[in-house]
């Protein structure tokens, strides 16, 4: 009975709107929805006993008895990002959809939609006049110096203790501790992150090429090298021509960050003998670079990779030039989708489609993502009582319930989608014309503890495999242990980007043979002299003081 609570709210709200606004389809739509769900539930739970049903009914009635009336809802003001050119939560059923959220979360929610290109400006203005700040503010990307400075001045509620309360906040309390550290200023958690998949990075490879050449899925760096070599020189497509190169590569160098973890290199920074150091100070860093350089020198990656535009990323695998793609696993799966959609034949069996193998870790490691993209803060000036803090956090928590995840990502059942006999969501055919009512509402969701509702559209076997590999990855993904300290480093805030560019550029030059090892180490020393050593000192002063 996953969505039953929402259905009760939907039925009440839809009928109320029908009376007030003469929306004649309300009653029949709700009835149809309940019938479909009942049939699906009966199919899936034929052995459910009458006692269990009675218990569920009693629990539902108890919940309804404790429900506040709308005039008792606490107000929650929310500054949210609008990616829909002013059309977020609009259309014929926009108000009705928003009312479903208000009733489910029992809040008088007031949304201030701010278009993404002026979000920073609006946030800065709000911070300058604290009394006008909405209770919940949205920030995009990661924590910036502006946010850190505001936090140091007490602009945001310290959420550290609140988010430990699993009784009040059963969803938010399940946040990932490593990701939450990224939102820590002076030891205080100043926001709720908007979760993204942690174990997203991995290696994808042409499975039919590997089968043709007798190669298994790679597990070690030697396996990867051997695959790249075979894909380059052993004619994996069987056309008798020297027209393949093992690894896909463009000027985007995040690939190297992934590869480095296979050698034991950290994610930007690492803990070495009790101190936090940037990864170029690890011995394993040079080992990883030498491996990548060997791949380049041996012709296992495009010679012009450093000048290839990033918008051509994955094209090499799609057109049969390359056989290994190292980046996000969903990118590798999309290449696989391309093969199926375009009926690209397998080199082993032309009656089947070409395929991609998805590998999460090499040597038992992979790079972790930041684990979030954007975050919510609670304004200390407007969440100025425990009751207001609780109202804001309770809203954010309930938006992660199954019912709200489904609504925010799919809209209203019976209008935007239906549920098929197998319990999958089926979007209406003219979804582009009716989706305005729920567009943008996913910007109110933190996606903690799950980045996806259990009730979804039916997935392909490829998507199911991708999700499983990502889930398996999470326990092996390497995080950056310095993130909570870097955002508090004044030198990193002012000079970090430029200093990082020195290190990244030197890595590229070394791999391509433009500088030797001595030149590489000179670049490292130059970065240290220009301020990186000061960053290291500032980071470790905080690290050892905790």
User: Does a structural domain hold residue 131?
Assistant: yes
Separation of alpha carbons 39 and 194, rounded Å: 35
Q: What is the CA radius of gyration of the chain?
A: 26
Residue 433: pLDDT band by 50, 70, 90 thresholds?
A: low
Q: Which of 312-316, 382-386, 472-476, 525-529 has the lowest mean pLDDT?
A: 312-316
The Cβ-side half-sphere exposure at 318, using a 13 Å CA radius, reads: 13
Helix/strand/coil for 190? coil
pLDDT, tens only, 188-235: 999 999 999 999 999 999 999 999 999 999 999 999 999 999 999 999
Where among 439, 457, 475 does a domain terminate? 457
Output the pLDDT for position 373.
Answer: 95
Where among 425, 457, 489 does a domain terminate? 457
Separation of alpha carbons 105 and 403, rounded Å: 11
pLDDT > 90 in the chain, percent:
80
Q: Answer yes or no: is pLDDT of 93 > 70.
A: yes
Average pLDDT of every residue of the chain: 89
Based on the domain organization, do 359 and 217 belong to the same domain?
A: yes
Based on the domain organization, do 315 and 411 belong to the same domain?
A: no
DSSP H helices, 460-529, are 461-473, 483-486, 490-511, 517-527
Residue 311: pLDDT band by 50, 70, 90 thresholds?
A: confident
Based on the domain organization, do 356 and 222 belong to the same domain?
A: yes
Based on the domain organization, do 395 and 262 belong to the same domain?
A: no
**Beta-ladder partners of 426:** 418
Output the pLDDT for position 313.
Answer: 86
What number is the average pLDDT over the span 45-50?
A: 37
Based on the domain organization, do 171 and 260 belong to the same domain?
A: no
User: Does a structural domain hold residue 410?
Assistant: yes
Residue 326: pLDDT band by 50, 70, 90 thresholds?
A: very high
Output the pLDDT for position 10.
Answer: 54
User: Does a structural domain hold residue 22?
Assistant: no
User: Does a structural domain hold residue 120?
Assistant: yes
- What is the extent of the structural domain holding 433? 71-196+371-457
pLDDT, tens only, 438-467: 999 999 999 999 999 999 999 999 999 999
Based on the domain organization, do 357 and 212 belong to the same domain?
A: yes
Based on the domain organization, do 244 and 128 belong to the same domain?
A: no
DSSP string, 376-427: EEEBTTTS-SHHHHHHHHHHHHHTTSHHHHHHHHH--BTTTEEE-TTS-EEE
Q: Answer yes or no: is pLDDT of 53 > 60.
A: no
Global pTM value: 0.85
Output the pLDDT for position 475.
Answer: 95
Separation of alpha carbons 440 and 409, rounded Å: 9
Output the pLDDT for position 67.
Answer: 77
User: Does a structural domain hold residue 56?
Assistant: no
Tell me the residue length of the chain. 546
User: Does a structural domain hold residue 229?
Assistant: yes
User: Does a structural domain hold residue 293?
Assistant: yes
Q: Which of 8-12, 154-158, 167-171, 276-280 has the lowest mean pLDDT?
A: 8-12
Higher-confidence residue of 97 and 21: namely 97
User: Does a structural domain hold residue 96?
Assistant: yes
Which two three-digit tokens encode residue 308? 């290839």
Distance of CA 85 to the CA centre of its chain: 23
pLDDT, tens only, 63-78: 444 578 888 999 999 9
What number is the average pLDDT over the span 87-102?
A: 94
Residue 151: pLDDT band by 50, 70, 90 thresholds?
A: very high
**Beta-ladder partners of 278:** 269
Based on the domain organization, do 398 and 356 belong to the same domain?
A: no
Separation of alpha carbons 54 and 41, rounded Å: 15
Number of domains in the chain: 2
Where among 404, 436, 457 does a domain terminate? 457
Residue 35: pLDDT band by 50, 70, 90 thresholds?
A: very low
What CATH code is carried by the domain that includes residue 277?
A: 3.40.190.10
Q: Which of 48-62, 381-395, 462-476 has the lowest mean pLDDT?
A: 48-62
Based on the domain organization, do 437 and 305 belong to the same domain?
A: no
Specify whether the CB–CB gap between 279 and 335 falls below 8 A.
Answer: no
Classify burial at 534, counting beta carbons within 10 Å of its beta carbon; exposed 0-12, middle 13-18, buried 19 or more. Answer: middle
Higher-confidence residue of 42 and 311: namely 311
Output the pLDDT for position 92.
Answer: 87
Separation of alpha carbons 7 and 1, rounded Å: 10
Based on the domain organization, do 82 and 179 belong to the same domain?
A: yes
Output the pLDDT for position 434.
Answer: 76
Output the pLDDT for position 59.
Answer: 40
Based on the domain organization, do 140 and 216 belong to the same domain?
A: no
What number is the average pLDDT over the span 139-145?
A: 91
Residue 6: pLDDT band by 50, 70, 90 thresholds?
A: low
Higher-confidence residue of 30 and 191: namely 191
Output the pLDDT for position 78.
Answer: 98
Based on the domain organization, do 129 and 227 belong to the same domain?
A: no
Q: Answer yes or no: is pLDDT of 332 > 60.
A: yes
Output the pLDDT for position 132.
Answer: 85
């Amino acid at each position: 009975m996953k969505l039953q609570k929402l259905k009760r709210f939907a039925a009440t709200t839809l009928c109320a709107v029908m009376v007030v606004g003469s929306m004649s389809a309300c009653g029949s739509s709700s009835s149809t929805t309940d019938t479909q769900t009942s049939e699906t539930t009966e199919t899936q739970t034929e052995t459910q006993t009458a006692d269990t049903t009675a218990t569920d009914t009693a629990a539902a009635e108890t919940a309804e008895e404790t429900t506040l009336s709308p005039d008792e809802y606490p107000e929650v003001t929310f500054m949210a990002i609008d990616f829909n050119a002013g059309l977020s939560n609009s259309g014929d059923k926009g108000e009705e959809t928003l009312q479903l959220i208000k009733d489910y979360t029992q809040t008088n929610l007031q949304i201030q939609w701010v278009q993404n290109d002026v979000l920073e400006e609006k946030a800065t203005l709000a911070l300058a006049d604290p009394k006008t700040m909405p209770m919940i503010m949205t920030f995009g990307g990661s924590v910036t110096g502006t946010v850190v400075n505001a936090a140091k001045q007490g602009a945001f509620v310290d959420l550290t203790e609140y988010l430990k309360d699993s009784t009040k906040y059963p969803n938010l309390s399940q946040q990932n501790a490593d990701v939450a550290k990224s939102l820590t200023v002076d030891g205080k958690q100043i926001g709720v992150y908007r979760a993204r998949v942690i174990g997203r990075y991995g290696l994808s490879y042409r499975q039919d090429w590997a089968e043709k050449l007798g190669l298994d899925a790679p597990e070690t760096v030697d396996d990867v090298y051997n695959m790249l070599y075979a894909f380059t020189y052993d004619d994996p497509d069987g056309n008798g021509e020297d027209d393949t190169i093992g690894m896909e590569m463009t000027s985007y160098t995040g690939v190297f960050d992934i590869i480095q973890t296979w050698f034991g290199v950290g994610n930007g920074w690492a803990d070495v003998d009790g101190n936090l150091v940037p990864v170029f100070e690890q011995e394993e860093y040079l080992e990883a670079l030498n491996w990548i350089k060997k791949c380049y020198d041996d012709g296992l990656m495009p010679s012009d990779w450093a000048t290839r535009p990033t918008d051509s990323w994955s094209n090499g695998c799609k057109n049969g030039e390359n056989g290994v793609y190292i980046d996000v696993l969903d990118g590798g799966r999309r290449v696989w989708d391309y093969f199926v959609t375009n009926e690209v034949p397998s080199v082993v069996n032309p009656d089947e489609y070409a395929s991609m193998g998805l590998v999460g870790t090499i040597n038992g490691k992979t790079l972790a993502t930041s684990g979030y993209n954007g975050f919510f803060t609670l304004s200390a000036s407007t969440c100025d009582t425990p009751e207001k803090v609780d109202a804001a956090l309770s809203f954010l928590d309930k938006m992660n319930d199954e019912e709200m995840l489904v609504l925010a990502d799919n809209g209203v059942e019976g209008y935007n989608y239906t549920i098929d006999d197998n319990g999958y969501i089926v979007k209406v055919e003219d979804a582009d014309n009716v989706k305005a009512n729920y567009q943008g509402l996913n910007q109110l969701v933190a996606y903690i503890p799950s980045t996806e509702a259990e009730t979804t559209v039916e997935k392909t076997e490829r998507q199911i495999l991708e999700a499983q590999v990502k889930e398996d990855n999470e326990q092996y993904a390497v995080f950056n242990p310095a993130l909570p300290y870097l955002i508090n480093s004044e030198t990193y805030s002012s000079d970090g980007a430029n200093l990082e560019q020195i290190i990244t550029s030197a890595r590229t030059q070394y791999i391509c043979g433009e500088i030797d090892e001595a030149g590489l180490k000179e670049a490292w020393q130059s970065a240290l002299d220009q301020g990186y050593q000061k960053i290291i000192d500032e980071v470790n002063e905080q690290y050892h003081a905790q």
